[in-house]
Structure 1
Amino acid sequence: MRIKKSVSKNSISYSVIENVRDINGKSTTRVIEALGNEQEIRKKHPGVDPEEWARQYAKKLTEEQKSQREPSIIKFNAEKLIDADEQRSFNVGYLFLQSLYYQLGLSKITQDIQSKYKFEYDLNEILSKLIYMRILHPNSKRSSFEQAKQLLEGIQCEPHQMYRALDILKKESDNIQSAVYKNSLKLVQRHKKILYYDCTNFYFEMEQEEGLKRYGVSKEHRPNPIVQMGLFMDASGLPLAFSIFGGNENEQTSLKPLEKKILKDFELSEIVVCTDAGLSSKNNRIYNTLGSRGFITTQSIKKLKKHLKEWALDPSGWRTKASDKPINLTSIKNIENNKETYYKERWIKENDLEQRLLVTFSPKYKHYQETIRKRQIERALKKVENPSSLKKKRANDPLRFVTVKHATTDGEIAENMHVTLDESVIEKEAQYDGFYGICTNLTSDPLELIRVNQQRWEIEESFRIMKTELKSRPIYVRNDDRVEAHFLTCFLSLLIYRILEQKLDNNFSCQKIIKTLREMNVMKTSGDGYIPLYERTHLTDQLHEIFGFRTDYEINTIKKMKNNLKLSRKAK
C-alpha cells in the first residue's frame, strides 16, 4: 500500500491506495482509506508531519494485511451513479463445463488443428464458447457470441471468425470425435462393448431443398426440409460418434459407414450393436455377425411369419430365471402385481442369416398396455358420440378402434355416416399385450439380453436432450459444412453434459443442472473481487467438491478467482 497526495488550491489531502489487477490482468488502483487534509491530520495528531504520518500509517496497514486476513469492507455511495457501459455481472457456472472441456483434451486438439491450418483466430476459444453457450443459452451462432460476453472471461474473437471456424471444424470432425473418445477413457469409465445406434432428424426454417436439407419424414411432423443424424452411444450412456446424412435417405444404410469408422478410428473390434427394428435390416444384421461382433435388435411379434407368431403367442413352453420347468401362461394368477418375466426362445435361419428369436412375456407390461388401451377406448367412444371430430388415423390414435360407414347394408349411400367401435380391432391388438421380442446372434443369458436391449431408452433420451435443452433445431446455418459443424458442437456439448451428469451420480434432472449453471452469476466490485448472486444449494456444493474449486465465498478475491480459472483449465 502507498499514499496518494492530492494537491488543491487551498489544501493538501492524503489517502491510502493499493495497486490491483482485474480478472483479465488489467492494472488499476483502489482507495483503501481517505485520511483527510493536512489541517484535519494535525488536529487529530498534534506535532506530526502530515505526509510522514500518512506514510507510516500506510506501512502499518500493509503489515496488518500481511499478518492477518481482515473481513472485506465494501463501501457503496447511495448518491453515486454506477459507471456507464460497465459490465458488473458475470457467469461462473461455465467454469465446471470448462474443466471437462480441458480434461477431454479439446484445447490440445484445437491447438493441433490451428498449427495445421495456420489461421490467426483462436479456435480453442471459439469451440469452447460455442459448447458452453450451447448448454447455457442455446440459440443461433450470433446470439451465442453476444451471450458469451456474460461469461467471466468474456469472448475475444469476432463473429465472422466464429463462422469461418465452422468450416475448419467440419473438416476435422472425424478426428475430433476419435480423439475426444480416446481422451475420455482417462476421465470416465466407458462400457464400450455394447453400442447403441439410432437415428433422428432435425428441421430447418426454410421451404426450398438444398444440399443435405431434403424433404423426408420429420420426427416432429414438420413440413420443412430436414437432415438426419445417426448416433452411436456406449452402454455407459455417453455418445460415441455421429454422422449427418440427407433428409431423404434411408436411415438403415447409415449404420455400416459409421460403424466402419468406429472400428477403424476408435480401435474397437469386439462390439455388440443394439438397434430398434427400423434400423435392423438383413444386411445390417449379417454385417454384425462378422468377426467378433454381434447384434441385438427388437422384433415385432405382429410382423413375424405365421408359424413363428403362433409359437410366440402359444401359452405353453415358457420359462423363468427362477425355474427351468415349463410354465403355461394360463396358469399365472394375480397378473397386476406379478413382476416376473417369462421367456421362450428358438433359433431360426432364413437365407444366409441364422439368428436367435427371444420372446418375453411380462404380466406387469400386459397390465400397462391394457390400461393404456382402456383409456384410448374411452377417448374413441367420445369420438363415436361426436362424429364431426373424426380426423385421419395415426399409429397410436384412438380412432383406430373406430369404424365409419357411409353406406347402408344394401350398399346404398347413407344420408348420415354410421360410426361404431370396432371390437375386432381391439381383440386383435389385445392378444399381443405383455409380449416383447428381440433377435440376436448371441448365446448369452436371455434375461441379460432383454436388459441390454431395454437400455436403448438412454439414446432416445440423448436425442431429447439435444433437441429440447440444447435446442439443436431449428438450424440457423445453411451451408452443409457449417450444418455438420453445428452438430459437432451439439455432439460435444451432449458429451460434456452427460459426463457432468455422471459425475453428479445422476442425482439431478437435466433441467435443474443447466438452470443452476446458468444462474451462477457473480457481481464485480471495484478492486475487491466478486460477490456470488446465486443461491448456494446441495447441487452447487457438489459441483465445487467434484471440481476442486469454489466460487461461493461471501466475496471471491481477484486472486482466488484467478486461481479458479487456472484450475478450470487444468488438463487431466
Structure 2
Amino acid sequence: MYLRETRRKNKDGSTVSYLQLAHNERHPSTGASTAKVIHNFGRAETVDRDGLARLVSSISRFLAPEQVAAAGAGEGVEILDSRRLGGAWTLDRLWERLGIGAAITRAAADRRLDAAAVERVIFTLVAQRALEPGSKLAATGWLAERVAISGITTLTDDQAYRGMDFLLEALDEIAAEVFTSVAHLLNLDLDIVFVDTTSTYFETDSPDELPEMADPVVDDGITRPAESGTRTFGHSKDFRTDLPQVVIAMAVTRDGIPVRCWTFPGNTADTAIIRTIKDDLAGWQLRRLVWVADRGFASATNRAYLTRGGGHYIHAEKLRHTNTEAAAALARPGRYHTVGDNLRVKEVHVAPGGDGDGDGGARAVRFVLCHNPDQAERDATVRANLVEHLREQITGSDAWTTRRRDEFVGSLKAKPGLRRYLRRTKSGLLRIDAAAIKTEAGLDGKWLLRTSDTTLTPEDLAAAYKQLLAVERGWRDMKGALKLRPVFHYREDRIRAHVQLCWLALLLIRVAETATGDTWRTIAHELDRLHLITLATDHGTVAQRSALTAGHRRILGALELPEPPRFVDFTLTA
C-alpha cells in the first residue's frame, strides 16, 4: 500500500496532480501487477495535509520504534557526516555585513592573489578563534572534520601562514576600510575613543635576539614607536616579569566596538604607544576626537601630542605621589554635585604648574574630581582590615632585634597596601601610621580626571572614563574566550598577525553581543546546536541543516539575519 501521484494535462497546457492511496494486485489471468485505487485524496494542491499527518501518526501506533524510523528514512538512507553550522554561518553573515570580507577581497585582488581563496582562509582562522580557539595546525583539522564553512572545505597550515602574512601586509588599508564600514552600519559614536594596553608573555627563557627581529625602540618623547612583535622583558600586566612578552594596545569606541589593535615590543612604555595610535587613526578623517586613557598614558609629552590638530584627552591622574597640578586639584575645596546614586563630581581649574587658582581661562588646567560613596565605604573597610592585620603582625615587635625589624620592613616592599600604614620611630620601633590612615581616608572612593576638553560636562567626563571598562572587558575576552595565549608563533610578524586575528574575532563577537544583549559564550553554545547533516540515498546525497530552535530564531532575529537555507547541496547519482 502506498501513496501515489498522477498527473493530467489540460488543453491549455497546464498540469493537474492528484493524490491517491493505492496498492498493487496481480491480474488473475495474466499475473501482471496492476494498481488498484483504494482512496482518492483529490488534487495535490488542495489535499488536507494535516489529515495525512494524522493518518501517518495513527499508523505509527502499530509499528515498533525501529520500524517507524526505517519508514520515515526510507530504504537505503544513511547519515554520512554531521558538522557544526550555526556559529560559523552566523559569523560569516556578520563578516559579510560589516564589509570585512569585501575589504580583504579588494586588498588581495590589488596584489593579484586569488582574492576569494585568501578571504576564506582568513575568515576560517577568525571563526576558529571565536568558536574553538587553537593553533593554526589545529585549524586545518577543525575545518576538515568539525565545521561547515561556505566556500572552503580544506585548509593547509601553509595556506594559513600565507593568509596571516597577507593580512599583516595589507592591515592598514583593511583596518581603515573595515572601520569606515562598521562605523556607518552600526552608527557608532566616534567622538570618543578609549585606549588601553595589556601584555602577553611567552613560555621561553630568553628574549628575541634574531637578526630579523626589530631593534628596541628608544623613547625620545617625540618619535612614535614602530609596531613589532619582538618578545622582550618589560613591565608585565600578567605579573610574569620573569618571561619575555609583547605589549598590545587596543582602541575601542564608546559603544564598546574594538576598531583597531597594535602590537609593540615588550619593553615599550604606554606613554610612547599613544603616539603611534593617534597617528594611525588620524588618517581615518575622524571629526572631533577625545582620547580616553588610563593613568599609564599620563605625561606632559603625551598630552601635548594628543591635542595636536584640535584633539582632546581625558585621563586619570595618580592620587598618590602625583604631580603638583593634580595635588593642587585634590586639595582645592569646593562642593560636590550629585549626578547619580553612587557618583558625585566636582570641577576644579588649576593654573599651570599648580601655582595659584585657575580661572577657567585658556591656560588653566581642567580637573574633575569624582567620588563614589559606595566605593568609599568599601575602601574604608579594606583599609580597616589591612591595618588590623598589620597591627597583629607587629604586636610584640618592641622585643625584636633591630635586624628582625629591618627584615620585616623589607618584606613589606612587595606589599604597598600594608607598607603605607607602617612607620618607624626614631629609635627604630614599629608603629601604625595614624597620619597615613588619615591621608588615605581622604582618598576613599575618589578618582581624578584631567582633560583638555572644555565642552563636555563633568558628568559626561566621569561617565566616559567609567566606560574605559569596555576596553578592560575586551582584554578579558581576548585572553579568555579567544585564548590569545598561549601563542605558538616564533616570528615577530606572525605574532602580530595572530593578534590581528584575535582583534577581528573580538569585533565580530562584540557586535553579536551588542545586538542580542547576551554573552558570546551563551550565543555560541546555542548556535552550536545547529548542524549540517549529509545524507546518502539511493538517488544521491543531500546536505541539510537541522531544525532551528527557538533560541536560534531569537539570535538571528536580534542580528537581523535570515534563516540559513534548509538544503545546501544536492548530488544526484548518475
Bin of the TM-score, shorter chain as denominator length: 0.7 to 0.9
Counterparts in 2 of 1:193 and 1:386: CA distance versus 1, 3 Å? farther
Hey, what does 1:182 align to over in structure 2?
180
Q: 1:290 to 1:394 in 2, by over 3 A?
A: same
Contact persistence 2:84–2:528 (CA under 8 A)? no
RMSD of Structure 2 on Structure 1 (CA) = 4.4
| Paired residues, number | 491
Separation in structure 2 between the aligned mates of residue 557 and residue 44 of structure 1, nearest angstrom: 44
Match of 1:368 in 2: 378
Tell me which of 240, 243, 248 is aligned to 2:267.
Answer: 248
What is aligned with 2:444? 433
| Gap change, CA 1:545 and 1:525, over 3 Å in 2 | farther
SS of residue paired to 1:547: coil
For each residue in 1:518-562, what CA deviation from the matched residue of structure 2 results, as whole angstroms up to 9, or x when unmatched?
A: 44445544457646489643x7523345333336xxxx8426x99
Question: Would you say 1:140 and 2:152 are equivalent positions?
Answer: no
Whole-Å separation in 2 of the counterparts to 1:439 and 1:110:
40
Alignment partner of 2:286 out of 249, 257, 268: 268
Taking structure 1 as the reference length, the TM-score comes to: 0.73
After TM superposition, give the deviation of residue 471 of structure 1 in Å. 0.6
Equivalent residue runs for 1:456-495 within 5 Å: 456-495=468-507
Structure 2: 5+ residue stretches without partners: 5-20, 58-67, 214-229, 355-361, 398-403
Structure 1 419/179 Cα, relative in aligned 2: closer, same or farther at 3 Å? same
The reply on whether 1:288 has 2:284 as its aligned counterpart is no
1:37-56 deviation line (CA, Å, top 9, x unaligned): xxx95459996844x859x9
TM superposition shift of 1:174:
1.2
| 1:242 maps to amino acid | C
Contact 2:278 2:306 in 1 (8 A): no
1:379–1:145 CA distance, 2 compared to 1 (3 A): farther
Structure 1 pair 170/88, CA: closer, same or farther in 2 (3 Å)?
same
Kindly indicate whether the alpha-carbon contact (under 8 Å) linking 1:522 and 1:534 is maintained by their aligned counterparts in 2: no
Matches within 5 A, 1:95-134: 95-120=89-114, 122-134=117-129
C-alpha distance in structure 1 between counterparts of 2:415 and 2:299, whole Å: 24
Letter in 2 for 1:485: A
CA distance in 2, matches of 1:240, 1:379: 45
Shift of 1:280: 2.1
Percent identity between the aligned chains? 19
1:233 paired to 2:252: yes
- Indicate the residue corresponding to 2:366 in structure 1: 356
For residues 389-428 of structure 1, the aligned pairs below 5 Å read: 392-393=411-412, 398-400=417-419, 423-428=434-439
- Please name the residue that 2:563 is paired with: 550
Shift of 1:464: 1.1
For each residue in 1:196-244, what CA deviation from the matched residue of structure 2 results, as whole angstroms up to 9, or x when unmatched? 1111111222223123111112211223211111211111111122221
Residue 106 and residue 41 in structure 1: after superposition, are their counterparts in 2 closer, same or farther (change >3 A)? same
Secondary structure at 1:244 match in 2: strand
**1:326 alignment partner in structure 2:** none
Matched residue SS, 2:101 = helix
How many angstroms apart in 2 are the aligned matches of 1:198 and 1:535? Answer: 39
Alpha-carbon separation, structure 2, partners of 1:409 and 1:340:
42
Superposed displacement of residue 273, structure 1? 0.8
Contact kept in structure 1, 2:87 and 2:524, CA below 8 Å: no
- Alpha-carbon distance in 2 for matches of 1:256, 1:289: 11
Q: Deviations over 1:374-397 (max 9, x none)?
A: 344455567668999989547776
Asked if the contact 1:263–1:269 (Cα under 8 Å) also holds between the matched residues in 2, the reply is: no
What is the Cα deviation at residue 114 of structure 1?
A: 2.8
Give, as a single letter, the amino acid of the residue that structure 2 aligns with 1:137.
Answer: E
Distance 2:468 2:233 in 1: 27
Taking the aligned partners of 1:81 and 1:384, their CA distance within structure 2 comes to 83
Report the AA paired with residue 321 of structure 2: K
Where in structure 2 are the equivalents of 1:20-39 lying within 5 Å?
Answer: none
Determine if contact 2:343/2:370 at 8 Å carries over to the other structure.
Answer: no
Distance 1:491 1:181 in 2: 12
Aligned partner of residue 490 in structure 1, secondary structure: helix
The residue type equivalent to 1:488 in the other structure is Q
Question: Is the alpha carbon distance of 1:308 and 1:100 closer, same or farther for their aligned partners in structure 2, counting shifts above 3 Å?
Answer: closer
CA distance in 1, matches of 2:330, 2:243: 41
Do the aligned residues in 1 keep the contact of 2:531 with 2:546 (CA within 8 Å)? Answer: yes
Q: Secondary structure of the residue that 1:297 maps to in structure 2?
A: strand
Report how far residue 157 of structure 1 moved.
Answer: 2.8
In structure 2, the partner of 1:341 is 344
Q: Is the 8 A contact 1:384 1:402 kept in 2?
A: no
CA contact (8 A) 2:512 2:559 kept: no
In 2, Cα distance between equivalents of 1:549 and 1:318 = 55
CA deviation after TM superposition for structure 1 residue 517, in Å: 3.3
The answer as to whether partners of 1:356 and 1:441 remain within 8 angstroms in 2 is: yes
| Alpha-carbon distance between aligned partners in 1 of 2:28 and 2:136, rounded to the nearest angstrom | 63
Distance 1:47 1:404, change over 3 A: farther
1:531-542 aligned at under 5 Å gives the runs 532=546, 536-537=550-551, 541-542=554-555
1:183 alignment partner AA: S
- The answer to whether the 8 A contact 1:231-1:241 is kept is yes
Unpaired segments of 5 or more residues in structure 1? 1-13, 17-34, 323-336, 412-417, 563-572
Distance 1:384 1:45 in 2: 113
What is the CA distance between 1:97 and its match in structure 2? 0.9
Deviations 1:164-217 (CA, angstroms, capped at 9, x unpaired): 111111101111110101111332011101111111111222223123111112
Bigger RCO (CA 8 Å, 6+ sep):
1
Instruction: Render the CA deviation track for 1:232-288: whole Å, top value 9, x for unaligned.
Output: 111111112222111112221111122112111x11142111111111221110122
TM-score with structure 2 length normalisation? 0.73
Instruction: Return the alpha-carbon distance in structure 2 between the equivalents of residues 531 and 95 of structure 1.
Output: 11
Partner of 1:331: none
Distance across 1 between alignment mates of 2:121 and 2:566: 28
SS at match of 1:122: helix
Q: How has the CA–CA distance of structure 1 residues 510 and 303 changed in structure 2, closer, same or farther, with 3 Å as cutoff?
A: farther
Pairwise CA distance, 1:338: 6.8
Cα separation, 2, equivalents of 1:271 and 1:103: 26
Q: Give distance in 1, aligned partners of 2:542 and 2:113.
A: 38
